[in-house]
Amino acid sequence: MKRANALSLLAVTALLVPAVAMAQIGPGMETSDRGTVTGAPAPAHFAGYATFDLTTGQTSYSMTKPTPLAAVDIYNNIGNAPIAGLASTDLASIFGDQVTTTGTGTLDELELVVYNAAGGPVMTTNIFISFYDAVTLAPLGSIGGGLDFTPLGGLPAGSFVYVQGTGLAGAGVNLSTTNLIVTQQLQPITSASTSLGTVLVSAPPALGTSLPSVYIDSSTFGPAGFYTLNGIDEADLGYRLAILEPTPAKQSTWGGVKGTYRGQ
């Protein structure tokens, strides 16, 4: 399957509709039928939170939002209301967004949304999240992990789940710029789904900013690039990015310093 190892900055426009998407693939080029794309009102069924820890390789589930650990948020719109599903019958599709964060550092936690739009349940899947410098397109690193939904009886069609990754600092992903492109891709292992993707959330982000368009690399949309979705002024994917909390410099009181002085 294709992997998110290269990006194109081709700007295109797509209709967000439940059936056939019409994509304008560049200036002077004709609008053409690009296939079946799932675009729908906000998914009706919220399936909870899945947390995977890169250190232990374990996944846990909860219907309530887990308490974030000691990390510093630099981008966050994950609490914004879902407004539409974005999915494709091309199960190897890559979705992403360009975001501006409030800081730089080593990635320690992230959150995103996984959406099973149609067909049967997703039992197990691998998820890959990649980061790029939005100006140079240089890759900044990737995170990968497995998600096992069998304890839930699978992720049902029409359902979405918030996925939280913790203990990510060991992967050494250095978000060295505040201008990022974030992409996500699923590679189903055990799944009866016929359409997978993510969820668009309401603007603006609570922390940071985002472009109005979204990155899509999918055979059902057309060429890889940034798509503006008709009917949605700002199409933001749900993301939270957090970096390691800086270690404070050791401080000493004047009395402590004076106590170490020895006269000659």
Q: pLDDT grade, residue 193 (50/70/90)?
A: very high
Characterize the bridge pairing of strands 94-100 and 82-88: unpaired
Q: pLDDT grade, residue 246 (50/70/90)?
A: low
Task: Say how far apart CA 54 and CA 76 lie, in whole Å.
Answer: 20
Q: What is the pLDDT of residues 117-168, one digit of tens each?
A: 999 999 999 999 999 999 999 999 999 888 888 888 899 998 898 888 888 8
**DSSP helix/strand/coil, 88:** strand
Task: Say how far apart CA 19 and CA 16 lie, in whole Å.
Answer: 9
Q: pLDDT grade, residue 21 (50/70/90)?
A: very low
94: in domain:
yes
Task: Answer yes or no: is pLDDT of 24 > 60.
Answer: no
255: in domain:
no
Characterize the bridge pairing of strands 209-210 and 94-100: antiparallel
126: in domain:
yes
Are 214 and 234 contacting, i.e. CB atoms less than 8 angstroms apart? no
Report the percentage of the chain scoring pLDDT > 70: 67
Give the chain's domain count: 1
pLDDT at 111: 92
Distance of CA 3 to the CA centre of its chain: 15
Q: pLDDT grade, residue 264 (50/70/90)?
A: very low
25: in domain:
no
Q: Which residues constitute the domain of residue 66?
A: 39-246
Are 15 and 22 contacting, i.e. CB atoms less than 8 angstroms apart? yes
259: in domain:
no
